């Protein structure tokens, strides 16, 4: 029996039958390898690490690019792959090299830059990749302090998230070492302290590259202030039942927030491009902060400051007694705030209350100093030359207000007006005290009246004739001739005319200014006292308040500080014009390191007339105007308001004042820079 033959049609039908059903999901790519191996990848398959701790441009970027362009990439890129990602990611450093390869391929089209041999390592976790990048960049010394601190903080967050619990700094150091990143425990502590306390307050200075020595010093400054604040709070809590006259300071410290006070004070010292502080200014500002919030006088704060840092410097050699003495002056000052000491005059005034008895504040001492003489009714003096003659007690007018022959004192032991028998010397001293007090009251009354400038006549003629009014007709110096005075109402009117908006200065800040001026051999200028004597004009505000249009204190006459003051004024003008002015702005960039304190970029889009005029004004002061914008002198007229119909571009009085102050600061800055160049 023969086999049945299969026709071609039957074969075709068999081939066209559907195959078995696919039970698994189709895939469009292969899974990531499970072990380390070499791979050849293209630039399209690679992506940079998106959590790279380094945020600044690599300073050696151009040098690395030139090397890769000349000889190619000598060190393979280490890559890994996140679960679910279709591209490979840089691991253990290499973002800069990947960026350079992309640039070179776009510039040259060379396939050698497009195809790269890479070393693949299996995915182990986000913390492993972060630790690899930290180790790679840190070993090359390419990370700033704040970049390392951000990386450590992020690593701690990841480890705690995986562990489900909070870990100590020492445990964090151990786990990072296991991951291949070795770091000192002390550095970890300071970095986390920086993130918590300094980054919100000083972001510009930290991003500019402020280093470890500056951070360590700033940490010690904050720790002292924190301890001082805490000691004051503990003192007031301990004496809560008897606050005395210190209730205000007790509430201020106990209910106050030290972290907020620190932030508000130090945020004013944060500037673009600043990598080092002027520590004398920082120290003064922090002492002023403690004075303002705790009520402590500057001297006790300064003594505690010196003792604290001395003990800190010689910590191992410091004795327990030296440690206990750190806060002695602060404790005494707190006691004084709670129970202020009463002021006593010597000799005390007699008690004039009914009954004639003296007690408490007005009680006279029962005995005189050893140098005083006995009364005439007592024993005879040892010598005629030593006896006090009332006729010898004279004052500025050459006259004696004491009776040349005082009344004889009552018999010894008989009470008089003072409550006990008084010697002639005591009575004479008491009379002299009363006359001095009366004379002092007269002088104070005279100083409270403001002299009026002479009216009429030429200033030069008056000066040549009588030396500006200081000489009388006989050519003698007129020391006691009173000048015409203004009443209190007139003075108040003048002060109101010179005040655009009030600037309320705290007493602590005013004391600090006076102390700084005294340290530099100057006299501090207060608006109220300087009116009609300086070039005063008062205009308060949140930024750059004005109290004098000319005087720049000596301790602020340095290039960096002047640029900071200029930047404050520029910020106010830019805010009015609707333009951003900051350390990161593309239009008006504040810069405390170079130039006159700011740099200008082009105005994008369709800027307002205000923005154009203010920008051109700042450009004119900088010496680099934009020819497309208004460039003639008329722009100043529009800002001043001397011509033009658009009142919206007329500077308000407060900003007009600050334009004068801005020009003054720039002129002083130029003088300082010229002096530095000559030296």
Q: What is the pLDDT of residues 155-195, one digit of tens each?
A: 999 988 888 889 898 999 999 998 888 888 888 999 999 99
Decide which of 53 and 115 is more confident. Answer: 115
Contact present, 205 and 274 (Cβ < 8 Å): yes
pTM of the entire structure?
A: 0.49
Query: Mean pLDDT score of the chain, rounded to an integer?
Result: 76
Q: In this predicted model, what pLDDT tens digit does every residue of 485-504 receive, in sequence order?
A: 556 666 666 666 567 677 77
Q: Coil, strand, or helix at residue 189?
A: helix
Q: If we measure between CA atoms, which residue out of 284, 289, 287, 313 comes closest to residue 301?
A: 287
Does residue 153 surpass a pLDDT of 70?
yes
CA dihedral of 483, 489, 493, 498, whole degrees rounded to 10 = 60
Give residue 645's pLDDT: 67
Give the model's confidence band at 349: pLDDT under 50 very low, under 70 low, under 90 confident, else very high: low
Give the model's confidence band at 141: pLDDT under 50 very low, under 70 low, under 90 confident, else very high: low
Name all domains of the chain by residue range, CATH numbers in brackets.
37-200 (3.90.1530.10), 212-338 (no CATH), 347-353+388-405+422-436 (no CATH), 501-548 (no CATH), 557-678 (no CATH)
Give residue 379's pLDDT: 42
Q: In this predicted model, what pLDDT tens digit does every residue of 4-14 receive, in sequence order?
A: 778 888 888 88
Sign of CA dihedral 531, 532, 536, 541: positive
Q: In this predicted model, what pLDDT tens digit does every residue of 233-284 receive, in sequence order?
A: 999 999 988 888 888 999 999 999 999 999 999 999 999 888 899 999 999 9
Burial of 500 (0-12, 13-18, 19+ CB in 10 A): middle
Q: If we measure between CA atoms, which residue out of 188, 43, 154 comes closest to residue 109?
A: 43
User: Which DSSP string corresponds to 638-660?
Assistant: HHHTSS-S-GGGSPPHHHHHHHH
CA distances from 524 to 280, 446, 539, 578 (A): 18, 21, 18, 36
Contact present, 553 and 517 (Cβ < 8 Å): yes
Contacts 24+ apart (CB under 8 A), 66-69: 68/97, 68/100, 68/101, 68/104, 69/104, 69/108
Indicate the range of 126-135, 228-237, 474-483, 581-590 predicted with least confidence: 474-483
Q: In this predicted model, what pLDDT tens digit does every residue of 633-666 receive, in sequence order?
A: 556 777 777 766 677 888 888 888 888 888 989 9
Contact present, 409 and 375 (Cβ < 8 Å): yes
Give residue 632's pLDDT: 52
Indicate the range of 212-226, 322-336, 400-414 predicted with least confidence: 400-414
Query: Under 8 Å CB-to-CB from 122, ≥6 apart: which residues?
Result: 32, 33, 34, 35, 36, 80
- Could you say which DSSP state residue 4 is in? P
Q: If we measure between CA atoms, which residue out of 100, 90, 172, 192 comes closest to residue 132?
A: 90
Contacts 24+ apart (CB under 8 A), 550-558: 550/664, 551/525, 552/664, 552/665, 552/668, 553/513, 553/516, 553/517, 553/520, 553/522, 554/520, 554/521, 554/522, 555/280, 555/281, 555/516, 555/519, 555/520, 557/668, 557/672, 558/278, 558/672
Does residue 46 surpass a pLDDT of 80?
yes
């Amino acid at each position: 029996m023969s086999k049945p033959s299969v026709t071609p049609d039957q074969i075709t039908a068999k081939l066209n039958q559907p195959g078995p059903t696919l039970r698994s999901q189709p895939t469009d790519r292969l899974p990531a390898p499970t072990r380390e191996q070499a791979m050849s990848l293209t630039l399209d398959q690679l992506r940079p690490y998106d959590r790279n701790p380094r945020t600044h441009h690599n300073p050696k970027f151009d040098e690395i690019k030139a090397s890769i362009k000349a000889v190619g990439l000598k060190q393979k890129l280490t890559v890994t792959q996140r679960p679910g990602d279709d591209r490979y990611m840089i691991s253990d450093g290499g973002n800069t090299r990947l960026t350079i390869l992309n640039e070179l391929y776009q510039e040259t089209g060379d396939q050698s830059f497009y195809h790269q041999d890479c070393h693949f390592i299996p995915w182990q976790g986000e913390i492993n990749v972060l630790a690899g990048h930290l180790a790679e960049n840190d070993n090359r010394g390419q990370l700033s302090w704040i970049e390392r601190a951000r990386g450590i903080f992020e690593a701690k967050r990841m480890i705690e998230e995986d562990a489900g619990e909070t870990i100590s700094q020492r445990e964090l150091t151990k786990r990072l070492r296991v991951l291949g990143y070795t770091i000192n425990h002390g550095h970890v502590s300071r970095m986390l302290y920086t993130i918590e306390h300094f980054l919100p307050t000083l972001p510009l200075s930290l991003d500019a590259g402020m280093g470890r020595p500056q951070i360590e010093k700033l940490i010690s400054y904050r720790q002292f202030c924190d301890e001082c604040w805490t000691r004051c709070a503990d003192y007031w809590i301990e004496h809560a039942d008897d606050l005395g006259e210190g209730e205000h300071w007790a509430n201020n410290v106990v209910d106050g927030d030290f972290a907020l006070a620190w932030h508000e004070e130090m945020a004013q010292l944060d500037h673009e491009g600043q990598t080092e502080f002027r520590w004398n200014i920082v120290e003064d500002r922090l002492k002023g902060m403690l004075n303002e919030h705790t009520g402590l006088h500057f001297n006790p704060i300064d003594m505690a400051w010196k003792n604290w840092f001395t003990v800190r410097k010689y910590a191992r050699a410091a004795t327990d007694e030296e440690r206990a003495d750190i806060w002695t002056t602060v404790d005494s000052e707190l006691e004084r705030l709670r129970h202020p000491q009463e002021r006593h005059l010597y000799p005390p005034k007699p008690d004039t209350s009914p009954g004639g008895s003296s007690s408490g504040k007005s009680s006279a001492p029962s005995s005189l100093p050893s140098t005083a003489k006995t009364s005439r009714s007592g024993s005879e003096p040892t010598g005629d030359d030593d006896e006090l003659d009332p006729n010898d007690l004279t004052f500025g007018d050459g006259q004696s207000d004491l009776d040349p022959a005082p009344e004889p004192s009552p018999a010894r032991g008989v009470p008089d007006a003072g409550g006990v028998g008084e010697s002639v010397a005591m009575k004479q001293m008491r009379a002299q005290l009363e006359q001095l007090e009366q004379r002092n009251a007269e002088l104070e009354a005279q100083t409270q009246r403001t002299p009026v400038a002479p009216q009429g006549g030429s200033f030069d003629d008056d000066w040549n004739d009588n030396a500006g009014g200081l000489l009388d007709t006989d050519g003698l110096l007129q020391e006691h001739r009173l000048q015409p005075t203004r009443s209190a109402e007139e003075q108040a009117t003048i002060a109101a005319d010179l005040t655009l908006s009030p600037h309320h200065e705290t007493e602590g800040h005013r004391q600090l200014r006076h102390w700084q001026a005294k340290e530099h051999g100057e006299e501090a200028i207060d608006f109220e006292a300087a009116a009609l004597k300086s070039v005063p004009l008062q205009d308060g505000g949140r930024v750059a308040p004005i109290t004098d249009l000319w005087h720049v204190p000596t301790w602020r006459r340095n290039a960096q500080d002047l640029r900071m003051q200029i930047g404050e004024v520029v910020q106010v003008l830019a805010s009015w014009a609707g333009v951003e002015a900051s350390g990161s702005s593309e239009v008006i960039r504040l810069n405390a390191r170079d130039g006159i304190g700011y740099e200008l970029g082009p105005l994008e889009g369709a800027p307002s007339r205000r923005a154009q005029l203010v920008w051109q004004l700042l450009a004119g002061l900088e010496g680099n105007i934009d020819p497309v914008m208004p460039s003639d002198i008329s722009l100043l007229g529009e800002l001043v308001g001397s011509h033009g119909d658009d009142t919206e571009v007329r500077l308000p009085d407060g900003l007009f004042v600050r334009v004068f102050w801005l020009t003054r600061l720039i002129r002083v800055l130029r003088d300082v820079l010229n002096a530095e160049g000559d030296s």
